[in-house]
A and B are shown apart, each in its own frame.
Chain A
Amino acid sequence: MSLRAFRLFALFIAGAALGAPVAFAETALTPGTPFTINFSANSLITNAYIDVDASTKQLNINLTGSGGDVDLFLRYGSPFPDTSNCTSSSTPCLSYDMIQRYAHYHSVSSTSNESILVTNASTIPLAAGRWYVTVINGSSSSATATLTATTSISVQAAAISIDFGNPSTNSSDPTQNCDVTPWSDATAAIAANGNPGTTLGDQRKNALQYAVQQLAQQLNSPVPITVHACWAHLGGDKNRATLAHASATSFAFSDPSFPMPWLAKRYTWYTNTQISRMGGTSNCGALGGDCTGARNDVVEITFNSDIGSSSVLGGAPFYFGYTPDTGSTSSDFIAIAMHEITHGLGFIGLANVDPSSGPIGARAGITNGESSITYQNYDQGPWDDIFGDNIVNVGSNQQSYTPFYGYELNTQPNNAARSAAMTSGNTVTSTSLGTLYSPTLLRWSDPLAVNSSANQATGNPPSNFPSLYAPCDMTKTTSCSTSLGSTLSHTVQQGDLMNAFYNIGQSRTMGLAAPMLAAMGWSTTTATAPVYAKPYTGIWYDRTHSGHGLDFRLVGHDAKYGDIYFLIFYTYDASGAVEIFQAQGNIVDGVFVPVILGADGSTLVRMHYDPVTKKATPSANTGGSIVVDFNQAANSPACRNLDRSAAALLGVMSWSFANSSGTVTEQGDWCVEPLTTPAQNASPDFGGLYYGGSSDSGWGFSVLDVNRGAQGNQVAVDFYFPDASGKPIWAVAYALPFVNGQVIPLLQNTAGYCRTCTTKSQNAVQIGTITLNFGTTNTATIVANYPGGGSFTRTNVPLVNLGISQ
């Protein structure tokens, strides 16, 4: 943010003296040359940088350190904030939170060893220009770390590693045990079908390594991942047995509480494999934690160590050959491993298939404080998942289609439609090649797969959208809507690796799975830079919190840091009395990222007015924070609790207040939208954010000037002023048609409802008047009476408009 802009804000809100500007800290990194940094506790270095030219296809930033907990952040194009943001020498000006919100990529493990890899295929792709690096030691211990940036003109594919160690036991669920001794089984075996192993253990290991090599060669991912390879007694009988199971080891999503900007979809579940792949970092780098042992394994596959015993499937064994298994009395270990690991790479839909967990088809959410996904708690979700995000429901006419996860209300989730689609595949035809499924109503719509040579579906959309497996088990129920066991996450094409059923002689090519995974973060083709939302200046509100609102005012442009906004949050306290908080900051990639205003590091502050100096200063320990994310807000749970489809733009305003110990005492995610768009405003537009100038700050008002056609122009005023004790409060005024010089009643709600309280009707009373004159010079005359006597008054005071045109 520019110094000039800060001076303006300071005059309006605080009148605080600015410290001397601090040198802008940019340090060039030479490719391949280590750069050592000594950190004291809780310190950072901002804006080391490396310049990348158009021929560069891969950038690696590596950090190796000791002591402390050093984290790595990377941003393209414009710098991170630095000390030039400081408004005074006594107020901290940079926070971990702020740096993370500027970062395009991060690596934040609990160690001091971090890495980030960016290629031309990354979500925020490697592009020519300057890439900025910020490194933070956020711990209370000192640290030393060496930073190295390297570039390459080609993208190097990385291996999929296998962790054959780190055994574990799970007493409550032995199927989750990880027994690693079968990998070293010394029982003699005959090398055959390409597998050179001469012991059973070696054949098993060779076969699994062959499986991941096949996947790695087809994925060409530059990001290394590790698969934890386990065995467990999964049991079985002579007729049926589980051969293996697998999963990504965790799932997560990006939202304002923990942004991961490299995930293309906000508020959307991804597997940790996808998160690592797209983020160019390790599992612990993306999501924190340590990287030791199995902690950094992103997929866990478990094979049944009972397979081959005479009591299970008649002793039918695993087949470990490299060539496809052409027999029908054994199980192809490599094909099974490739299939199951591919699920772990993200080939998995999270729509509920278990009626005991919630409605079939329900989105996956999470209960606060829990570690497992739930399908019930709409307050803490639900979110889409990236697999389901690519699915459409095809109409029964086979010609129309709608998104699988469409816009809908939390209170009326359209689970029934998803359930119907998930059980639409009840037509089976016997052919000379085997069982053939007719096209289902559950289709994959992303063009990478639709246009792939691996796609066998033909015709016009949606006929050429690949069908997904959607079983309707008519043998167990009379209605598909109650059928259990829809697998959702499989294709129906014969021979596909991700077909729900294995073929004899199953091929080892990924087929449709490759372009489907590419649409979910595994693409190797050059990506286009993301486009971010651009908010409007003006009044914003949340339909579910009528009476509260925001003045979100554009007050400047900065070449380095983007648009500068001033935010006033007018709201009610716990007793229902009016109160105001304010923030200021930049629009960073479609997100309002505030600067620190309070001495306690708060970004959302309450001011205290001094009637003698006619200035306001931030109250100590407000503990407030605020972020407004305008990107993909319609996907957020906050915006799904009401039909907001007519809104011009949505944003998720995440606010919180903490006590002096830092414990959050109040928080919320509100879905905000502009009251009007610039096109609806009057011409000339007197809208703006006005105050009394440098000698009379600490109060002000925002004006919305709307063209109401034949009725004339309507002016709406939110008036911010101090009460008798110096606490900022607010009132409103409306005039239709507005006429210069008219006396407009000032109204104040005497019975509001707090930010976390149930909505109730307003009880506005007149507390005074405001008279406005707009023209060559703008003036205001104000009388705002206090309930206990006294008043805030101004007479023909000249006004300064902080707002600028969009």
Chain B
Amino acid sequence: MRMTLLLISLLAANAHASDPAVTLQAQPLVQKLAPNPAAQAGMKAVAASKAVVGPKVHETVATRNDDGTLNVGCVERPNPRAGKSLLNTISPENQQ
């Protein structure tokens, strides 16, 4: 194993000195992984379960006045992916 490591180091050093584009084919130290707990698949399943859809999105809403001008504001609504109805938000007010 020591010899393998030495060989890798030498190969890397030589590659750098002669041709940076050389792709090394050395077999690095490969160690057996413990099967449990939390092997790769298990840990990634945990990660996937942690990434959740947000509870709400912001949306920009415009209301039109009698004179045709618009009032534009940003409101929050609950997570549409949860199939909920729009919040009874306050109306956007006059543009400042």
Contacts and interface: CB of A to CB of B under 8 A. Distances in A.
19 contacts: A38-B28, A44-B31, A93-B34, A95-B33, A146-B23, A250-B52, A258-B46, A288-B44, A289-B48, A314-B64, A354-B78, A354-B84, A357-B55, A369-B49, A373-B53, A434-B96, A489-B76, A502-B74, A658-B37
Contacts of B72: 243, 331-332, 336, 501-502
A316 B70 contact: yes
A200 interface: no
A200 B2 CA distance: 66
A248 B54 contact: yes
Given A92-B34, A138-B41, A500 B73 contact: yes
A682 to B, nearest CB: 39
Contacts of A375: 55
> Which of A243, A330, A433 gathers the greatest number of chain B CB atoms within 10 Å?
A243
Interface of B: 1-2, 5, 8-9, 12-13, 15-16, 20-21, 23-44, 46-64, 68-84, 87-96
A38 B27 contact: yes
B48 A33 contact: no
Contact of B34 (A436, A494, A499, A596): A596
Given A353-B87, A500-B74, A240 B64 contact: yes
A60 to B, nearest CB: 16
B77 to A, nearest CB: 8
Interface stretch (A21-29, A584-592, A737-745, A783-791): A21-29
Given A82-B31, A92-B34, A245-B59, A27 B52 contact: no
Contacts of A25: 5, 28-29
B50 A356 contact: no
A254 B26 CA distance: 36
A485 B75 contact: yes
A625 B96 contact: no
A195 interface: no
Contact of B40 (A26, A71, A246, A343): A71
A108 B44 contact: yes
A488 B92 CA distance: 15
Given A287-B51, A501-B93, A328 B69 contact: yes
A602 B70 contact: no
A603 B38 CA distance: 11
Contacts of B26: 36
B62 to A, nearest CB: 5
A316 B30 CA distance: 65
Contacts of A35: 12, 24
Given A373-B55, A485-B87, A490-B74, A138 B5 contact: no
Contacts of A676: none
A329 B68 CA distance: 6
A475 B93 CA distance: 13
B58 A245 contact: yes
A43 interface: yes
A43 B32 contact: yes
Interface of A: 22-23, 25-30, 32-40, 42-46, 48, 69, 71, 82-83, 92-98, 100, 108, 110, 136, 138-139, 146, 172-173, 175-176, 238-253, 257-258, 271-272, 287-289, 313-314, 316, 328-332, 336, 339-340, 343, 348, 350, 352-354, 356-357, 364, 366, 369-373, 375, 433-436, 471, 473, 475-476, 484-490, 494-495, 499-504, 596, 600-603, 623, 625, 656, 658, 662
Contact of B36 (A371, A476, A602): A602
A251 B31 CA distance: 35
Contacts of B80: 173, 175-176
A22 B58 CA distance: 56
Contacts of B96: 433-436, 494-495, 499, 501, 503-504
A370 B82 CA distance: 11
Contact of A331 (B16, B33, B70): B70
A95 B81 contact: no
A241 B61 contact: yes
Given A245-B58, A246-B59, A503-B96, 15 more contacts: A29-B12, A33-B20, A38-B25, A92-B33, A95-B34, A96-B43, A139-B40, A243-B59, A248-B54, A250-B54, A251-B52, A289-B51, A348-B58, A354-B55, A356-B78
A796 B76 CA distance: 73
> Which of B31, B63, B71 gathers the greatest number of chain A CB atoms within 10 Å?
B31
Nearest to A86: B31
A129 B70 CA distance: 58
Contact of B59 (A244, A252, A370, A603): A244
Contacts of A340: 58-60, 74
B43 A258 contact: yes
Contacts of B88: 476, 484-485
A82 B28 CA distance: 13
B54 A348 contact: yes
Given A35-B12, A288-B47, A501 B54 contact: no
A329 B59 contact: no
Nearest to A96: B40
A271 B81 CA distance: 17
Contacts of A258: 43, 46-47, 50
B58 A343 contact: yes
B50 A662 contact: no
Nearest to B24: A36
Contacts of A485: 75-76, 87-90
Contacts of A242: 59-61
Contact of A69 (B38, B40, B64): B40
A36 B25 contact: yes
Nearest to B32: A92
Contact of B16 (A33, A97, A239): A33
Contacts of B60: 242-245, 331, 336, 339-340, 502
Nearest to A354: B78
A242 to B, nearest CB: 5
Contacts of B71: 501
Contacts of A248: 54
A96 B47 CA distance: 13
Given A25-B29, A246-B57, A494-B96, A97 B47 contact: no
A253 B37 CA distance: 21
> Which of B12, B32, B72 gathers the greatest number of chain A CB atoms within 10 Å?
B72
Contact of A372 (B24, B32, B41, B53): B53
> Which of B46, B52, B60 gathers the greatest number of chain A CB atoms within 10 Å?
B60
A372 B55 CA distance: 7
B20 A662 contact: no
B51 to A, nearest CB: 4
> Which of B2, B25, B90, B91 gathers the greatest number of chain A CB atoms within 10 Å?
B90
A96 B95 contact: no
> Which of A83, A97, A371, A656 gathers the greatest number of chain B CB atoms within 10 Å?
A97
A489 B77 CA distance: 12
Contacts of B90: 471, 473, 475-476, 484-485
A238 B88 CA distance: 19
Contact of A658 (B15, B34, B36): B36
Contacts of A83: 31
B43 A501 contact: no
Contacts of B84: 354, 356-357
Nearest to A286: B47
B71 to A, nearest CB: 8
A34 B23 contact: yes
Contacts of A371: 52-53
Contacts of A146: 23
A662 B39 CA distance: 10
A40 B64 CA distance: 65
B55 A27 contact: no
Contacts of A373: 52-55, 79
Nearest to A490: B74
> Which of B16, B42, B44 gathers the greatest number of chain A CB atoms within 10 Å?
B44
A136 B30 CA distance: 9
Nearest to B89: A485
Nearest to A328: B69
